[in-house]
Amino acid sequence: MGRLLDTLFRVDHYETELDQARVRAIYNILLLALILFTIYTVGQSLWDDVLRGTIQTFSIPAFYIVVLVTVLLLRFGKVSSAEFGMPLMLLVALIPPALNGGLKDTGDITLLVLFMTMFTLFKRERGLVFSLAITIILLVIGLARRETLPDLPANFTPEQNVTDFFLVTLELLGISGVMAMFLRFLQLNRAEGEASIQGKRAAMAQITTKITQQISHQLSLQETMDNAVELISANFADIYHAQVFLLNETGTQAELLASTGEVGKLLKQRRHNLKVGGRSVIGQVTGEQGVVVAYAGVPDSIHRYNDLLPNTAVEAAFPLQVGTQLIGALDLQSRNPKAFSADDLPAFQGLADHLAIAIDNARLFDEAEETIRQNQYLIEQSRSNTEEVLRLNRQLTRQIWADHLRGKTQDMALDINFQENTREQGGVWTHTLREAVQSNHTIQQRQDGQRIVAVPVRVRGEVIGAMEFELDETGNLTPEDI
């Protein structure tokens, strides 16, 4: 039956929840009116043998036509037009018989007031003015009908009809005034409520911006999250505990990363974690990837009692997502059961979105830092290896030259005189030659009117000897020559 009603009275093609609620209300009134009017007409036919007069010829078909048209308007999304169907059903179903009877009973006048009230309910100020005019016209028609009734009581004289007209009109005007005041108060309350909500949203947005700016200056992931939960707890009066959970590498567990106060330290020491998709607030928010609000002490609540947080009255969790990827959840707890209203949830989700971006940035920073550390380690290793290779090369070079020279019996020194064009085997190690070998640098000196230059001889960075040049005082050597 429920599925049939959902099929007949669909509301899913309406975009906003407010429109869906309005349409559901109209459908409910339609269904109730349909049932009651059907019972009324069937009862009239049973008790009075046949339906007579305007009920038979006009009211019954007109009522069902209005119901059908109203349903069709709702199906096509014409809510504003469909709202006229509510008072119109009353107008065509019950008021004609009352008019036909001359409005003799108090109930007949009540029907007119009910019509005006229903019109005002759906169409507000315009409906009030429009329905008041129609009601007065119907009153005139009903009172005029008295003159044609064959069984009119003696007290319904023309003078009495005029008196009734003025009295009922005054009553209708009084009721209209009350309705107008009610609509005005309703409008003021709504405006005040909207202003309050807007002010609260603005305050929450300001706090969210403040928190976002402060955590954006943090660099490491742990530092960012620790500061974030403390800022949230400090800036939102209703929140006494805030936590951040991140999914593990396999995505099966939500692990506690940051938590406020001493309780948070204890929870982190316990390595607090919850199963993704499990029966807990964090389990549900990570499993369903949607906002979850759970109240403590409520039957079948998914809020899990924590001995470290016994005063929690309500817990709300918001998914942390980077794009479409879920990375964790923001968990907020309050002692106030009214802390997380429907109007507050979008602001907190916005905070969670900013937090997710900060987490992603901090992760990238940590990864970059780790990459730099690894690169520095590799560079140090490479430098150390290079130095070791050079040392081994020098050692090997010394060893090879030592082995090579060990088998030589003749002196390896050679003295060449370019002036006399002579060459002589052997020689002595001068002071400048030894200094060039020991320092591994070019040595220049002046001695006995000559310029002496000693240059080390290197093979693979290892000094294996030296060459000494004796130059005239007038000899000119550039740095490139040396």
Q: Are 362 and 221 in contact (CB under 8 A)?
A: yes
Q: Are 355 and 321 in contact (CB under 8 A)?
A: no
Dump pLDDT digits (tens) for 244-267.
999 998 999 999 999 999 999 999
Dump pLDDT digits (tens) for 154-213.
666 777 777 878 888 888 888 888 888 888 888 888 888 778 777 767 777 777 777 777
Q: Are 453 and 443 in contact (CB under 8 A)?
A: yes
CATH fold of 222-362: Beta-Lactamase (3.30.450)
Query: Which residues have CB under 8 Å from 226's CB, separation 6+?
Result: 258
pLDDT of the residue at 381: 81
| Residue range(s) occupied by CATH 3.30.450.40 in the chain | 222-362
Judged against a pLDDT cut of 90, whether residue 432 lies above it is answered with: no
Q: Which helix (H) or strand (E) holds 479?
A: none
Q: What burial class does residue 473 get, using C-beta atoms within 10 Å of its C-beta: 0-12 exposed, 13-18 middle, 19+ buried?
A: exposed
pLDDT-based confidence at residue 51 (cuts at 50, 70, 90) = very low
